[in-house]
Amino acid sequence: MIFELLAGNLTHGLLLGGVYGVATMGLSLIFGVINVVNVGHGQFIMVGAFVTLILFTALGLSPVIAIPVALIIGMALGFLFFYTVMRKLIKAPELASLLATFAVGILLEELAKLIFGADFRGYYWDVGKIILPFTTIPMSKLYAFIGSIAIALFLYFWFSKTRSGTAVRSVIEDSEGARVCGVNVDWIYALSFAIGIGITVMSGVLLTMFIPVGINPYMGGAYTLKAFVIAVLGGLTSPYGAFFAGLIFGLVENGAYTLFALIPGVAPFSLTVSLAFWMLFFLLLVKPTGLLGKK
């Protein structure tokens, strides 16, 4: 019985983990390239969720179409945000960039509240389901998982095979060296920031398949914190590390929830969230370069 439950929850955890991975890749990319922790990260996920919701409910378009739309909106937001705010803060002390990204997060939250109100919303994308012996998986979740793998692979090929991807990697490695070799570092900063935000907004689309009635202007904060844990797990500067760490995190989260639920007299949900942060803290302590990061 418990094993069935565990197997079922771990399956869901793996599917969600893929989305977590994509949701964190942007954070890692931005930290890797411009060395800024985007504290307003989750709010961009919220933007993606609202994009999907509007396309689905107002225009009747499927979430599949929302993915490219979210990428375009996200990249536009990324460029806007980079050229108006972040460009001047790359060399500034952390205090400035942390506060600025947080303020942008608040701005997005408040704008979303102004436009859509503070209610919880959701939509239901009915595309059938798969029945396994131990659990039932809605096809929408499976599509989200496939989508997350596709996005991760796409990013992988962009990184390793294209010219601009190689330039980004060189900037992560050594920005001064890259500048000397003729890489337009300032453009790479802007581009990778925009792509980072773009992926994040896109992950918001995928995430909506997992939260049937959880779309809300203030949903982002929780995901910012989860993304921190995942990013540190993956080594903080490595987007692929982040993807695999996302899978691990999804499994751990759902597995731990199942086990905590067996303990009488506790609130398993909160304990699971708390476990994630103790994990983060412990990890920073023993291996700040991340589980999958290099020494």
Partner 1 sequence: MKKNIVKYYPLIPVLAVYLIMFLIGFFMPGMWQMVALLAFYCALGQSWNIFMGMTGYVDFGYVTFIALGTYGMSLGITYFSQFEWLGMGIIVIGLILAMFLAALAALLEAAIALRLRGAYFAIACIGINEGLRYFIEGAKIWGGSEGLIFFGALTQSLGRETVNQLTTFWADFSVFVIAALAAFLNMHYMRSKIGYALTAVREDEDAAKVMGVNTTKYKTLAFLTSGLLGAAVGAMAWGLKLGHVYPGDVFVIHYTIECIVVVLLGGAGTLLGPVVGGLIYGLSKYWLAIIMPGFQLLIFAPIIIIIIVAFPEGVIGVLKQRVKRTALEKYIV
Neighbours of 33 (CB within 10 A): 24
Site membership for partner 1, residue 151 (CB under 8 A): no
Q: Which stretch binds partner 1 (CB under 8 A): 3-11, 70-78, 141-149, 279-287?
A: 279-287
Site membership for partner 1, residue 261 (CB under 8 A): no
> Closest approach of Cβ 92 to partner 1, in Å?
7
Site membership for partner 1, residue 186 (CB under 8 A): no
Among 2, 80, 153, 267, binds partner 1 (CB under 8 A): 267
Amino acid at position 160, single letter:
S
Site membership for partner 1, residue 292 (CB under 8 A): no
51-83 b/e (C-beta count within 10 Å ≥ 16 → b): bbbbbbeeeeeebeebbebbbebbbebbbebbe
Site size toward partner 1, by CB under 8 A? 51
State residue 131 phi and psi, 5-degree precision.
-105, 115
Site membership for partner 1, residue 232 (CB under 8 A): yes
Site membership for partner 1, residue 115 (CB under 8 A): no
Among 120, 124, 154, 269, binds partner 1 (CB under 8 A): 269
Choice between 153 and 284, CB closer to partner 1: 284
Among 122, 255, 268, 293, binds partner 1 (CB under 8 A): 268
CB neighbours of 265 closer than 8 A, spacing ≥ 6?
Answer: none
CB neighbours of 196 closer than 8 A, spacing ≥ 6?
Answer: 25, 26, 27, 29, 30, 33, 38, 78
> Closest approach of Cβ 55 to partner 1, in Å?
25
The two structure tokens encoding residue 59 = 């225009």
| CA dihedral sign, ordered 22, 173, 184, 236 | positive
19, 246 Cβ separation under 8 angstroms? yes
- How far is the C-alpha of 50 from the C-alpha of 209, rounded, in Å? 12
> Closest approach of Cβ 253 to partner 1, in Å?
12
Among 65, 259, 271, 291, binds partner 1 (CB under 8 A): 271
Site membership for partner 1, residue 236 (CB under 8 A): yes
Neighbours of 150 (CB within 10 A): 13
Q: Which stretch binds partner 1 (CB under 8 A): 54-62, 151-159, 190-198, 275-283?
A: 275-283
215, 208 Cβ separation under 8 angstroms? yes
The two structure tokens encoding residue 201 = 């907004």
Q: For partner 1, what does the binding mask look like between residues 85 and 114, x meaning CB under 8 A? A: x--xx--xxxxx-xxx-xxx-xx-xxx--x
- Start-to-end CA distance of the chain, whole Å, equals 42
> Closest approach of Cβ 196 to partner 1, in Å?
15
Burial zone of 44 (CB within 10 Å; 0-12 exposed, 13-18 middle, 19+ buried): buried
State residue 135 phi and psi, 5-degree precision.
-160, 170
Residues 15-74 that bind partner 1 (CB under 8 A): 31, 35-37, 39
Using CB under 8 A, list all residues that contact partner 1. Answer: 31, 35-37, 39, 84-85, 88-89, 92-96, 98-100, 102-104, 106-107, 109-111, 114, 221, 225, 228-229, 232, 236, 260, 265-274, 276-278, 280-281, 284-285, 288
